Amino acid sequence: EGDSGGTPHWLALWRKNNVPNPPRTHHHHHQKLPRFLALQLQDSTGPRPRRNLSVCPPPAIDSEQEALPGHLRRLRSSRLLPFPMATLHRLAGRGAKRMCLRSVTAAHLAARPFATTCLRKYAAPEPMGTRLIPVDDDFANPNDPYGVTRQLPAAARKSRENSVEDRKVRHYTVNFGPQHPAAHGVLRLILELNGEEIIRADPHVGLLHRGTEKLIEYKTYLQALPYFDRLDYVSMMTNEQCFSLAVEKLLNIEIPDRAKYIRTLFGEITRVLNHLMSVLSHAMDVGALTPFLWGFEEREKLMEFYERVSGARLHAAYVRPGGVHQDIPVGLLDDIYQWATQFGDRIDETEEMLTDNRVWVERLRGVGVISAAEALNLSFTGVMLRGSGVPWDIRKSQPYDAYDKVEFDVPVGTNGDCYDRYLCRMEEFRQSLRIIHQCLNQMPAGPVRVEDYKISPPPRTAMKENMEALIHHFLLYTKGYAVPPGETYSVIEAPKGEMGVYVVSDGSERPYRCHIRAPGFAHLGGFDHVSKGHMLADAVAVIGTMDLVFGEVDR
């Protein structure tokens, strides 16, 4: 015992350290004190009534100063608890009640002898029956069409526990691309597979959509030209050629013969460029790497011809409305002739590697078969149509530029499969070489642009001498030239198929509307029909034979 008032020694010490000079006031003043002070004063004024610990919990007290229960007080008074309050707080996690330090009494034991909460019912696994899509009358139930609640009899359940029907693989849905190396860009296919067989293919396009057609409406006719380079970025000059022919129709002008031959020459060089990329990347997708490396050596030479004639290896902007940008530099025709004489051997080397290769033939023959009627119904053009036996080539049926002055044959397939389309492209290499040789031999002299300074810019020498020529040049490259009102559709035989441009003019310097008909878009639309029933590995072969470039598909 500490002081004479019956206060324990430890409490007097604690009060001395923590509560200096506690005010001894009347009982009704305790309400205005903090809770813990009021409780301490209550302890000092008189004994607290004993509480049934098992029924009524101790009073809620601020966690900063927690009162001790009675049995702790007794323990502390018998000198068994020498540690201060902070240590107890630390041990008890700021609450002595949590340490189960209450006195164990009979009343405490009898308080809750058993749990009074209701029993929890857990969901037991129940056999639900097989989910089957109703394909025949046995499973069709009008009230429950998917067979979710159809309960199987016990005997049938036991007999079918490990049957084939319950373990049957359902249709998988697989995302092919857009990061797949054989997707040739940003192709995304949603393939529905039954095992490895393709049941349905859903191509998702638009990942390279740039709004080209809308952008063209805000540019002059000359400024719109570079957009066409970026459509099919493997065959650049043919895209420019298509747009230039459409604008020339609206302007009602005839370009010089030399410009026509230069366009035809570079149109066929572009066809070789495109088919090299198409055939060799197709071979690489199927597993042959060597032809790809050999062929890109030839592509490099053709890119050099592009650079020498236009200044750019890829986006040339060389073919323009009214002719071509500039004449061929000195010595380029000789180099093209030298390249053309040796390129036939490179084609033969590629054919030695692929045409009779057993793996190549097995992967392509009988894969992606399209009949002539199906190809026409699916709007297939180019090699995709000719491989099915339809001899349709715009260069023959509606010749443009100098194609009516050169001789060539149109290769046509017989079976309509991937192998026939490969053979068509290999033969088109040789026909393009024929056309290149004829263009080199028949190349006329003369101007390469229309000599109308309202449409094509004057030469630099005239600009240095003539003020009027300088004004023409300034207006052409700032304001542009006005095209008479009207509409036209121009189509050419691009390397991938029919490339068409529909231009509407309202008489201003900018096209009112320009729609681009890309061949790859129609080919990709027919992918579902072509690939149905094939294996997943054959999808790569079908994509390769379609020769897809997503600049023109998504536009």
Map out the domains of the chain with their CATH numbers. Answer: 1-46+63-100 (no CATH), 211-252+255-449+484-554 (1.10.645.10)
The whole-number pLDDT of residue 494 equals 92
The whole-number pLDDT of residue 161 equals 52
Location of structure tokens 């080209």: 212
Q: How far is CA 429 from the centre of its chain?
A: 33
The whole-number pLDDT of residue 286 equals 87
Cα separation, 181 vs 540, whole angstroms = 10
Cα separation, 436 vs 269, whole angstroms = 8
Span 350-382, pLDDT tens digits:
998 888 889 999 888 988 898 889 888 988 999
Q: Which amino acid belongs to residue 256?
A: P
Residues of the chain with pLDDT under 50: 1-2, 25, 27-31, 51-56, 61-66, 75, 77-81, 95-101, 136
Cα separation, 388 vs 418, whole angstroms = 10
Model confidence, pTM: 0.69
In the chain, what is the greatest distance between 2 CA atoms, to the nearest angstrom?
133
Q: Is 131 left (phi over 0), alpha (psi -120 to 50) or beta?
A: beta
Cα separation, 539 vs 418, whole angstroms = 11
